[in-house]
Amino acid sequence: MPHDELLTIAKTIALQAGELARKRRTEGIEVAATKSSPVDVVTAADHETEALIRSLLADARPDDGFFGEESGAEKGTSGLTWIVDPIDGTVNYLYGIPHYAVSIAVVEGEPDPLTWNALAGAVVNPATKELFTATLGGGAHLGGADIRVGDAVELSQALVATGFSYDAATRGEQGALIAGLLSRVRDIRRMGTASLDLCAVASGRCNAYFERSLSPWDHAAGVLIAREAGAMVKGRGDEAPSRNLLVAGHPTVVAELESAIRLLGL
Ligand code: LIP
């Protein structure tokens, strides 16, 4: 199936799921459970939204695999797998901060961020109605407009987004690194939603983004959108972006940022 047809499925379902998440938010949200730590929360809306996405994908693409944050993985027979974060930025969503997203990507190959090849991706912020999309080789878009990564800047002029782990000890280490980085950059933004951080890089709203401990569903769509917007997105050394490390931005900025965070011990 052409990438554009896959994208149509991704964005149609993302918009529908986003509307459900937005509606549930207006009705009131409570923590349904915690996962890796007392602050790693999941709401009933996370589960309901992923169930809707999974059902719609099963109807549209019954032979494809599925890999979602809340309901896990199911292999398909087509060689394609849908990577889904039903509500990325869960803590923002819980607190009513209008900066969360539905992130849906379709990849070929194993559902492993170190090896997969993303073909199409959609990230929608239901609160702002902003829809970021990309197909492999087809460029990146916000609504109907092309988007491009910002121009090269000195690291000292760079607005850098980042995020932190749900594990308190790891968060402390990450905070110490940020303390060392802060005087080397324009400023830091911790906005709480990896997929939207990658879309911010793709649209020039940030010069760079880096984070460790991300899950595959956090970045599957956003990485494709950022790359199709001209950003470099990589992991440690020559690795693909993964839980180990994700760095994104104009290639020149990524090189300077990676050097700085390596010197700071990352
Ligand atoms: C979140 C990411 C964010 C990260 C948070 C959390 P979730 O994903 O989008 O970048 O800093 O710790 O992992 O848990 O809201 O799907």
List Cβ neighbours of 177 (8 Å cut-off, separation of 6 or more): 261, 264, 265, 266
Q: Whose CA is nearest to atom 15 of ligand 1?
A: 89
Are 225 and 139 in contact, with CB atoms under 8 Å apart? Answer: no
Alpha helices in the chain (DSSP H): 3-27, 44-60, 90-95, 168-181, 194-202, 216-228, 251-263
- Say what the pLDDT of residue 211 is: 98
- Say what the pLDDT of residue 28 is: 92
pLDDT in tens, 41-86: 889 999 999 999 999 999 999 999 999 998 989 999 999 999 999 9
Cα 2 to ligand 1 centroid, rounded to whole Å: 31
Band (pLDDT 50/70/90 cuts) for residue 97 is very high
Probe residue for ligand 1, chosen from 90, 102, 246 as the CB with the greatest number of ligand atoms within 8 Å: 90
pLDDT in tens, 181-207: 999 999 999 999 999 999 999 999 999
Pairing of strands 246-249, 232-234: antiparallel
Band (pLDDT 50/70/90 cuts) for residue 1 is confident
Band (pLDDT 50/70/90 cuts) for residue 95 is very high
155-263 placed in CATH 1.20.1740.10 = no
Percent of the chain with pLDDT over 90: 92
Q: Is the pLDDT of residue 31 over 90?
A: no
Which is nearest to 115 in space by CA: 84, 139, 85, 81?
A: 81
Are 42 and 168 in contact, with CB atoms under 8 Å apart? Answer: no
Match 């005087």 to its residue by tokens. Answer: 183
- Say what the pLDDT of residue 4 is: 96
Are 230 and 149 in contact, with CB atoms under 8 Å apart? Answer: yes
Q: Is the pLDDT of residue 2 over 80?
A: no
**pTM above 0.95?**
yes
d(CA 193, CA 170): 18
Ligand 1: nearest atom to the Cα of 93: 15
**Candidates 3.30.540.10, 3.30.360.10, 3.90.280.10, 3.30.2350.10; CATH matching 3-146:** 3.30.540.10
Are 161 and 193 in contact, with CB atoms under 8 Å apart? Answer: no
Q: Which amino acid is at 156?
A: S
Phi-psi region of 142 (alpha: psi -120 to 50; beta: other; left: phi over 0): beta
Which is nearest to 130 in space by CA: 18, 53, 54, 3?
A: 18
Phi, psi of 119 (to 5 degrees): -105, -35
Q: What is the mean pLDDT of residues 17-28?
A: 97
- Say what the pLDDT of residue 204 is: 98
- Say what the pLDDT of residue 109 is: 93
Probe residue for ligand 1, chosen from 69, 193, 198 as the CB with the greatest number of ligand atoms within 8 Å: 193
Cα 262 to ligand 1 centroid, rounded to whole Å: 22
d(CA 73, CA 67): 4
Q: Whose CA is nearest to atom 6 of ligand 1?
A: 89
Mean pLDDT of the chain: 96
Residue with the larger pLDDT of the pair 42 and 101: 101
Strand partners, 73: 67
- Say what the pLDDT of residue 42 is: 87
Residue with the larger pLDDT of the pair 2 and 263: 263
> Ligand 1 site: residues with CB under 6 angstroms?
85, 88-90, 163-164, 166, 192-194, 211, 218
Where do the structural domains in the chain lie, given as residue ranges? 3-146, 155-263
- Say what the pLDDT of residue 33 is: 87
